[in-house]
Homo-oligomer: A and B are copies of this chain.
């Protein structure tokens, strides 16, 4: 049974607001891929738009250019090994989903492969072609057209990091396979 529930588009930016490392999924012409990306951020709340850095040498970048779309999946702490693994090899010659036994769901709007098991959330994104920033900075802008999250950690538009959902808490790559887990909520005094 999936715990995933749709996230309203006006709340989609919140899924990556705190800087988690993400998995970028893509598909085109019968091929598909998944890679890790530490560099992503929202750029607009409404319409929900994001930017993600996808190196121009990657197979993902080829699939994204061809399909005009990608998925963003937000791995929980239980997927730290998988995240590092899919970030360390190319999918050009290997189907990493099959190799790692990753169960794939289908995004409702763009039909992209998205990952729910072990992930806190996913977003389906339509590329906004920006040739110059893609070339100069490997930075791809996109509009979020669908999103969903595991209700055990994100519901009613809000994250809830608790003692009982540590495996779903987001991971943040420091470099060289070292991640920190987000946790320990701090509330600002005048918030």
Contact = CB atoms under 8 A, between A and B. Distances in A.
Interface string A125-141: 00000101100011101
A186 interface: yes
Most B-side CB within 10 Å, residue of A18, A43, A183, A185:
A18
A14 interface: yes
Interface stretch (A23-31, A62-70, A79-87, A116-124): A79-87
A161 interface: yes
B190 A18 contact: no
Contact of A80 (B38, B84, B130, B186): B186
Given A18-B180, A185-B178, A84 B190 contact: yes
Contact of A187 (B39, B141, B177, B188): B177
Given A175-B14, A191-B84, A139 B184 contact: no
Contacts of A188: 80-81, 83-85, 177-179
Interface in A131-169: 132-133, 137-139, 141, 158-159, 161
User: How many copies altogether?
Assistant: 2
A100 interface: no
Interface residues of A, number: 54
A17 B181 contact: no
Contacts of A130: 132-133
A20 to B, nearest CB: 6
B17 A18 contact: no
B182 A182 contact: yes
B44 A42 contact: no
Contact of A88 (B40, B77, B138, B190): B190
A51 interface: yes
